[in-house]
Structure 1
Amino acid sequence: MIPFTTILTHPGGAHKDEFLACCVLLSLHPVPVVRREPAPTDLADPATCVVDVGHEHEPARNNFDHHQLPKDHPPTCSLSLVLQHLGLYADARQFCAWLESAEWFDCRGAVTTAQWLGVPADVLPKLNSPIDITLLRRFALAKRLAPGDPLWEMMRMIGEDLVNYVRTLRARLDFIGRHAQFWTLDLAGSPGQILFLPRTEPLPEEPSLGLDEFIEERQLTGEIVGLVYPDRRSTGYGLGRFRDNPRLDFTRINRETDVHFAHARGFVAKTSAHDIPRLQALVTQSGVAS
């Protein structure tokens, strides 16, 4: 990407797509963000990165707008265009489950997005939180954000985390592929497949990160019922259902002396056990008939 000295986006109401597009850009170029309509000179100047406004998608000039695209174009928002230009879009679509729905919401609106998701339209507002509302409201009120402003700093952190997640998850999936083991255990009379990730040194900061994506990429979502992974808070392991599979209920082991936590709803447990036969025994004991 050609370096730029300013990010410019539209004034007025703020939406998730240009907010996140600006966050991603700030993680790469920590420059001021200005909210106003662009002039022709802004669109012509690569030093001004124009986002979600201007009716022009010209990455060579750092212009990333989608509103000029035809109405039957696949849902594409300003965040999509920025991620495409950075070479991160394919992995982001694969690893960030929220991205496609964000594209639909921005390009098709709430009602059509709800229909696409197969849910009533009144479900979508129920998924909002004060985090969404406050960040977008404060962004909408701002005319200029610069380093040192609390919202600017928060936006850069969001962008850094998003970019780092997408860029490092591929390496994380390769790591899991090198170390993961698959157990087939007797769960209440019928076999169930468990993914086991052994403890390594150094231990990843989030040992369970990427397990869901690894299973999905390997097309094993219909086979795996549970996970066993290093507990980052102890020398033991976490035991969990995969996508809340009902074939495991960890309340069945809550009285075991080496189990120091079992959630009341049975979907996760923590144990100080670290040898494979004992871990397998705990999972087997947690099995529920299918």
Structure 2
Amino acid sequence: MENFKLIVTHPGGAHKDDLLACCVLLAVNPSPIERREPTAEDLDDSDICVVDVGHEHKPEKRNFDHHQFPRDHEPTCSLSLVLQYLGVYEDARKFCDWLEPAEWFDCRGAKDTAKWLGIERDIVTKLNSPIDVTILRRFARESRLDAGSPIWELMKMIGDDLLDYLKNLRSRLDYVGETSEVWELNNGSGLKVLFMPRTDPLPTEPSMGLGRYIEELDPDGKSFVGMIYPDRRGDGYGLSRFNDDLRLDFTKIDEATDVHFTHASGFIAKTSATNMARLRELLEMAYVEELMK
């Protein structure tokens, strides 16, 4: 457990990186936040976290600024540094798809980030949310935030949820790795699906983490086309595409007597079948061969 007494970050306009860095720190050690320029004493005091200000990255003193890094440094923001310090940065980069764009946006700006993403500059602005705007504006106008303040409490919730997500997902992936099976389609295509058997107790969301686990098995995303997992609403199984791969179309099994639901777009189906041979058969029936030519 971390033990510090205060978080200091810069005054004026707030950005996602400094706000989220403070959120994560609140989750590990709820502390007051002061938005001001740090003093030399602050920077030298390891009981004070200095975030996104101070021109110093010294995690041993809990100083997390990136503005002194050279221009060609890999995009790294204050949130990156805090996540590195807590030992969860690698998992965050793997499992939080928003993190790398946030690093780019903070370090390179909207124009370069849009170019890196391969989109037009105006699309970046169109993705802005009033949720982001309000939280950042309300955070920016405070000089000090303490427990009980609505913004402080919301920030702690955000930090709690982020760290819980990373911790629980990693545990879930370890469990999936121990429990699941990789099936190869019996049609010569070489394509695979991930099968998650029914367990007792059944997880609240049986499909959680399956896609992320496949990404670890197959970083290129070319071998796997689907997932099979226990239906949390019944005794059967759910069948779904992986990354919406069109080589599986579950509308093709809509007429099967043991299939009680297929989405009109073909990306998911539900079956009462529990026999593995039958589940494999349904997969073969849903396969779209012409897309392989």
TM-score, scaled to structure 1:
0.90
Gaps of 5+ in 2: none
Give the corresponding residue for 1:243. Answer: 243
Say if 1:58 and 1:64, in contact at 8 Å, map to a contact too: yes
Say if 2:273 and 2:279, in contact at 8 Å, map to a contact too: yes
What is the deviation of 1:251? 2.3
**Does 1:75 pair with 2:75?**
yes
**Does 1:94 pair with 2:94?**
yes
Q: What CA distance in whole angstroms lies between the structure 2 residues aligned with 1:77 and 1:164? A: 21
Give the corresponding residue for 2:136. Answer: 136
Give the corresponding residue for 1:215. Answer: 214
- Say how many residue pairs are matched: 289
Say if 2:44 and 2:61, in contact at 8 Å, map to a contact too: yes
Q: What CA distance in whole angstroms lies between the structure 1 residues aligned with 2:176 and 2:66? A: 37
Matches within 5 A, 1:110-129: 110-129=110-129
Cα deviations by residue, 1:19-65 (Å, 9 ceiling, x for unpaired): 11111111100112222222233222222211111111122222111
Q: What CA distance in whole angstroms lies between the structure 1 residues aligned with 2:126 and 2:158? A: 23
* CA RMSD between the two structures: 2.2
Q: Percent identity of the aligned residues?
A: 60
- Letter matched to residue 194 of structure 2: L
Q: 1:280 to 1:124 in 2, by over 3 A?
A: same
Which SS does the other structure have where 2:67 is aligned? coil
Q: 1:9 to 1:227 in 2, by over 3 A?
A: same
What is the deviation of 1:82? 0.6
What is the deviation of 1:274? 2.6
- Letter matched to residue 204 of structure 1: P
Q: What CA distance in whole angstroms lies between the structure 1 residues aligned with 2:71 and 2:108? A: 9
Q: What CA distance in whole angstroms lies between the structure 1 residues aligned with 2:151 and 2:262? A: 39
**Does 1:287 pair with 2:287?**
yes
Give the corresponding residue for 2:160. Answer: 160
- Letter matched to residue 119 of structure 2: V
Gaps of 5+ in 1: none
* More divergent stretch after superposition (42-51 vs 223-232): 42-51
Which SS does the other structure have where 1:97 is aligned? coil
Give the corresponding residue for 1:32. Answer: 32
Q: What CA distance in whole angstroms lies between the structure 1 residues aligned with 2:156 and 2:274? A: 39
What is the deviation of 1:105? 0.9
TM-score, scaled to structure 2:
0.89
- Letter matched to residue 39 of structure 1: T
What is the deviation of 1:255? 4.2
Give the corresponding residue for 2:191. Answer: 192
Say if 2:2 and 2:29, in contact at 8 Å, map to a contact too: no
What is the deviation of 1:184? 2.3
